């Protein structure tokens, strides 16, 4: 079994050698790097920064932590006043908005002088960091979902890991025993932030559809038909009508809900879908091994969404070259040996070893796509999320048929699109 190199943070903290970036010939420089992961998840990142500071005595970096929810407002206050950190940790979807407000440095000249890693084409989701042809951030870490399952339950039922959505429904039937063990668990709640949104899009995208897309430059149209949406509603509602998913999940909204995390470990659920951090939490609560596999394929493709974080430089930084040198170090394989995240570069993904039971994420990341098509549309993503979760929930609870609910979705999407254009 391979050993994940990030498990050896303590060794790396003392043994990591310097990145090949040369020490810049100038006086001692102090940089501030601000990030928003909770302190409980930053030990590996701090170990990487400590290693940098040891090997770069002329460029010292101090890490600040600020809650993600406070970060944007704080940057909007600090940077126009000439303050703020030198390097900023950002969600993918923040980069364009910060760039539009002149809160990020155009990285083009720095990239041209010394490109990071294997070059910008190697980075996932670079389009979200690009505005008017200029790059304002570098994708840093990436995450997506994978299918998480109990291999012992599949083996006992004689079920192979399902490869398609149809196979998943069949497998769920075989894995449900009518005595508290269900084949599939997923958050089917109707709250605006319910995780149902994620699965709906995986299903639609993999079957060649999408809610909305730019069909020609500047032309946004609703792509999904009523039949497409009704088919997705019927598919997921089928797990409840067949008794292969517990009806209690109709009130569960979060992928991190204890009913899902604990359910997989207890064996109440044989299969679910998790992002990496949630999978690790579930493994921590399970006495038996858990595994991950790829998201089921539809008629057109296999796909998941790509989320993650990016790095940017404050336009006020007095040391942009040194900040860029440190940023390239954060993007390098050396950092990811201790930083417990997946890199947003295909070559770095290939260069690192990850836990064998997380192979599903490694396999899915190159096939994941961002929500860029929705982010750039005239409709607020939050409006689409709330609408989809509400109407899928209406079907699950029996308030509406898939045909009724899908037509409501189309009508409201059309109204939102018209309003967004005006």
pLDDT level of residue 38 (50, 70, 90 thresholds): confident
Residue 5 has pLDDT above 80, yes or no: no
Residue 25 has pLDDT above 70, yes or no: no
* Segment 390-401 mean pLDDT: 98
Max CA-CA distance within the chain?
Answer: 71
Distance of CA 305 to the CA centre of its chain: 7
* Segment 152-173 mean pLDDT: 98
In this structure, of 21-30, 133-142, 214-223, 357-366, the range with the lowest mean pLDDT score is 21-30
Rounded to two decimals, the pTM is: 0.78
* Segment 370-388 mean pLDDT: 90
Shortest CA distance to 110 belongs to which of 331, 298, 395?
Answer: 331
Question: What single-letter DSSP state applies at residue 371?
Answer: S
User: 135 versus 278: which is more confidently predicted?
Assistant: 135
CA–CA separation, 107 vs 135, rounded Å? 6
* Segment 186-215 mean pLDDT: 95
Those residues with Cβ within 8 angstroms of residue 131's Cβ, 6 or more apart along the chain or in another chain: 95, 96, 99, 100
Residue 1 has pLDDT above 50, yes or no: no
Question: What single-letter DSSP state applies at residue 297?
Answer: B
Q: Are strands 146-149 and 219-222 parallel, antiparallel or unpaired?
A: unpaired
Residue with tokens 């670079």: 126
| pLDDT for the residue 382 | 85
* Segment 35-63 mean pLDDT: 92
| pLDDT tens per residue, range 332-369 | 999 999 998 899 998 998 888 889 999 999 899 889 99
CA–CA separation, 203 vs 210, rounded Å? 9
| pLDDT for the residue 26 | 53
Those residues with Cβ within 8 angstroms of residue 361's Cβ, 6 or more apart along the chain or in another chain: 143, 144, 146, 276, 279, 292, 342, 354
CA–CA separation, 181 vs 243, rounded Å? 10
- What SS3 class is residue 59? strand
CB 204, CB 406: distance < 8 Å: no
Tokens of 338: 């201790």
Residue 4 has pLDDT above 80, yes or no: no
| pLDDT for the residue 281 | 87
pLDDT level of residue 21 (50, 70, 90 thresholds): very low
Shortest CA distance to 126 belongs to which of 88, 101, 105, 96?
Answer: 96
Strand partners, 141: 309, 343
Residue 16 has pLDDT above 90, yes or no: no
* Segment 202-231 mean pLDDT: 96
- What SS3 class is residue 279? helix
pLDDT level of residue 7 (50, 70, 90 thresholds): very low
User: 146 versus 7: which is more confidently predicted?
Assistant: 146
| pLDDT for the residue 23 | 44
Tokens of 257: 């809900």
Q: pLDDT exceeding 70 applies to what percent of the chain?
A: 93
Residue 384 has pLDDT above 60, yes or no: yes
Q: Please report which residue ranges of 31-125 form alpha helices under DSSP H.
A: 43-55, 68-78, 95-100, 108-113
Q: Identify the burial level of 194 via C-beta atoms within 10 angstroms of its C-beta, where 0-12 means exposed, 13-18 middle and 19 or more buried.
A: buried
CB 273, CB 145: distance < 8 Å: yes
Q: How far, CA to CA in Å, does 297 sit from each of 205, 210, 356?
A: 10, 15, 22
| pLDDT for the residue 311 | 98
User: 365 versus 390: which is more confidently predicted?
Assistant: 390
* Segment 292-309 mean pLDDT: 96
Those residues with Cβ within 8 angstroms of residue 9's Cβ, 6 or more apart along the chain or in another chain: 43, 44, 47, 338
Residue 267 has pLDDT above 70, yes or no: yes
Shortest CA distance to 63 belongs to which of 71, 53, 76, 75?
Answer: 53
CA–CA separation, 274 vs 292, rounded Å? 9
Question: Residue length, the chain?
Answer: 422
């Amino acid at each position: 079994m391979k050993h994940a190199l990030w498990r050896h943070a303590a060794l790396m903290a003392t043994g990591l050698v310097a990145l090949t970036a040369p020490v810049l010939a100038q006086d001692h420089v102090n940089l501030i790097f601000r990030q928003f992961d909770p302190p409980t998840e930053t030990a590996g990142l701090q170990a990487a920064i400590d290693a940098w500071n040891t090997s770069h005595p002329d460029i010292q970096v101090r890490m600040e932590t600020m809650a993600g929810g406070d970060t944007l407002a704080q940057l909007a206050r600090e940077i126009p006043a000439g303050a703020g950190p030198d390097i900023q940790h950002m969600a993918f979807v923040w980069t364009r908005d910060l760039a539009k407000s002149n809160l990020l440095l155009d990285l083009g000249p720095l990239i041209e002088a010394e490109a990071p890693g294997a070059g910008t084409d190697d980075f996932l989701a670079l389009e979200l960091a690009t505005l008017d042809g200029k790059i304002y951030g570098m994708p840093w870490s990436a995450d997506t979902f994978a299918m998480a399952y109990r291999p012992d339950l599949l083996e006992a039922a004689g079920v192979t890991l399902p490869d398609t959505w149809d196979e998943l429904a069949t497998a769920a039937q075989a894995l449900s025993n009518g005595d508290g063990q269900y084949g599939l668990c997923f958050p089917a709640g109707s709250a605006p932030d319910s995780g149902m949104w994620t699965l709906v899009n995986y299903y639609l995208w993999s079957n060649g559809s999408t809610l909305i897309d730019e069909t020609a430059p500047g032309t946004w149209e609703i792509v999904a038909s009523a039949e497409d949406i009704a088919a997705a509603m019927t598919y997921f509602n089928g797990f409840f009508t067949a008794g292969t998913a517990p009806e209690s999940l109709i009130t569960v909204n979060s992928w991190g809900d204890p009913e899902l995390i604990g359910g997989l470990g207890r064996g109440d659920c044989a299969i679910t879908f998790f992002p990496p951090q949630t999978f690790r939490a579930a493994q921590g609560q399970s006495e038996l091994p858990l595994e991950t596999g790829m998201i089921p394929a539809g008629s057109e493709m296999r796909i998941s969404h790509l989320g993650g974080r990016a790095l940017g430089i404050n336009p006020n930084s007095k040391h942009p070259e040194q900040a860029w040198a440190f940023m390239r170090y954060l993007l390098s394989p050396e950092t990811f040996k201790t930083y417990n995240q997946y890199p947003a570069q295909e070559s770095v993904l290939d260069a690192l070893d990850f836990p064998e039971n997380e192979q599903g994420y490694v396999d899915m990341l190159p096939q994941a796509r961002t929500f860029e098509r929705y982010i750039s549309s005239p409709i607020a993503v939050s409006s689409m999320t709330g609408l989809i979760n509400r109407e899928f929930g209406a079907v699950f609870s029996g308030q509406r048929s898939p045909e009724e609910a899908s037509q409501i979705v189309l009508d409201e999407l059309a109204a939102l699109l018209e309003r967004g254009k005006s």
